[in-house]
Structure 1
Amino acid sequence: MSDFSITRLNASQNDFDGSLASLLAWDDSVDHQVNESVRHILAQVKARGDAAVLEFTEQFDRLKAGSLADLEMSKERLQQSLEAIPQNQRTALEAAAQRIRDYHERQNQQSWHYQEADGTVLGQKVTPLDRAGLYVPGGKAAYPSSVLMNAIPAKVAGVAEVVMVVPTPDGQVNDMVLAAAAIAGVDRVFTIGGAQAVGALAYGTESIPAVDKIVGPGNIYVATAKREVFGTVGIDMIAGPSEILVICDGQTNPDWIAMDLFSQAEHDEQAQSILISPDKAFLDSVEASIRRLLPTMERADIIAESLKSRGAFIQVADLDEAAEVSNRIAPEHLELSVDDPEALLENIRHAGAVFMGRYTAEALGDYCAGPNHVLPTSGTARFSSPLGVYDFQKRSSIIGFSASGADRMGRVASVLARGEGLTAHARSAEYRIKE
């Protein structure tokens, strides 16, 4: 890999802000053709239901079926997949599922209320969604870990029905994905994909029930469809390319850091891997590790392109400045590969998930640490959070005034309503005021 090069930036250089902005820039504007295609598919599914879904499934996945009932997988079929996979895969899936469940059970929110002195009761009722839709990529890309990460929080939240859609191009079924669905307690599975599956979940068809929220990753057509149906249903997020940012003090084995950077770069050419360190000699050592290890990787071409086009090494004055730069980036995954990660964590404000210390590889978070791997990308960690139980719950405000409370607050509401010129509001409150 003698021609390999990775962008080097220094936080002290005059044009650092502009260079960093250019590095982080990612065009998420949707191609006009994709938009038109997705809108056409969604309109057809909304108007023609099952028939449209079957036609698009035949067209795009080369899978012909007489009815959508033929494309639903029974719970018995999911169980067969669970029994068919190698024992080590089943054991690993079950271990990961248990950890994910344990972690997410701690997020479960309960309803609450309190009573004021005059008997007025105020509170919040927490209710799970009735039905959630889970999109799972199919074909070559098979992500059983995503099934666990999306379905388990929904079930912990109390969602009554989780409906999963997964394309099976040319009838190609992935047993590990179906086994994960069995372990996670998915209720119904349809072997459909693409924008047509998103439309079916959003609008409902004769065979597929409409859901309240759609979660899960997909290609550009799936992401665009989720964007289009938002408002009819809730969605988790519009995810950009995967990202990792490693802050290292220069004391971690450079081979470990190189491989951690590879772990995100191998997703696709648009993935972003960034290393920040105050130690220039260490940055050189990691680059040497990258050159040596890259030829040994199965996805070497994808990793190389990702690192060349979107990767970077950033030299900073110290770890405080490293945290400052990291907060500007607001990465999806942040590794604190330093002696005292707890101290450095105090300075971190924006990150999807933070991996503490030299032994905490980001890859563990993708599979079996317990916290969710569905994380905000493209700087959205500034204002959003990992997928969790709270995404499958909604909150209703509870308000119950006593006669005394209605008298007291009615006087306040009356003044404010008349100030806004809303007389009926005022009189409604005034009827409850004691003479």
Structure 2
Amino acid sequence: MKNLSKITGLTAAALLAALPAFAQETAVAAEAAADVMDKGDVAWMMTSTVLVLFMTIPGLALFYGGLVRAKNMLSILMQTTVIAAMMMIIWVIYGYSFAFGGGTSPFWGGLGKLFLSGVSVDSMSATFSEGIVIPEFLFLAFQMTFAAITPALIIGAFAERIKFSAVLLFCALWGTLVYFPVAHMVWDGAGLIFNWGAIDFAGGTVVHINAGIAALVGCIVIGPRVGLGKDMMAPHSMTLTLVGTGMLWVGWFGFNVGSNLEANAGATLAMINTFIATAAAALAWSAIEAVARGKASMLGAASGIVAGLVAITPACGTVGPMGAIVLGVIASLICYFFVAVVKNKFGYDDSLDVFGIHGIGGITGAILVGILSDPSFGGTGLFVESGSIVDQVFVQIKAVAVTIVWSGVVSFILFKLVDMLIGLRVSTDEERQGLDQTSHGESAYHM
């Protein structure tokens, strides 16, 4: 009994000495056990990532391509394709780090994940639900498709007159100095706008206002197309534009619903809102066009669809279905006014109405989400601590203002820099002949 007592005493002493380390290991194990990766979430996010790529190629390419003249069709396809490919490479080299690198700056993510340092098949990324994670490679790839499509949106504003080399250089610089910082400010936990409590579920500020403002600056700096107001500049194929529109709408479910980061009930709210806000906007555009012009056009219906998609993007996860209908109608009417009235009034040649639809639609959605997300309007709730609609709208306006100023000022500098280095615009003869032949040596169509 004496020996047993001695052994027991030693064992107890050893256990007491080991308790701190054991407690730490237990805490780490508990934390690891709390993080759950669901294969359904992973499968949905992989699908969403591919859907956003589908929005760009071929969706956006065909939507824009059908709207230009036949002699510039291939140039639009080429610009969209190469911009997307270029941005994917830039994203994995340093873009992901600049946006989500783990830094504490409110304006950029730092260099912590340069060349994907520390990102592996074992690293995980958080979702909106505590303890639910997805592979970091998947989050990286999903965000990469956003980085690929956003600069490609800009090109519609100065289609048919910009050098291929100039548009690539501008987009590379713009992604670095505009898109990545704004993505960090809005979506990263350390970001300036994120910490204000601004609502931007899927990219009203990051994607649409950002691109729309750069588009407006670009079309003003580059100037109007040769023969504007004199030559026929009607879309060469509304059929292809509608095909592209349909692809955009389908792909947008990856854009919006995928931004939920999980396949759960929240994703279904984003899904129904993406359906009905878009449908309401298409009907509203067709209706106002029928009243104002006497006829509803296919171009108008397609424009309404895109306006609705743009406006619901920041709001799809927080507004109710009835609020989504209201948002779609309001955004469509405001975008129509800018496309049909404001553009003609001020005379800027936004060739494919990037600012009028993406910029204005994004601003409308980003501000109205501060009202329509309130539970009294059927929404899921506001993000500001006070829970006040006035406070939330003020935060939304601040977020919009920062995005407009950041994108506008930096984009203007970059356009001027590219013009100084290599020139922005093709010659008048090249523009009249068409960019398909002069920039790429081939044609979209052959007789």
TM-score calculated relative to the size of structure 2: 0.25
Bigger proportion of residues as strand? 1
Bigger proportion of residues as helix? 2
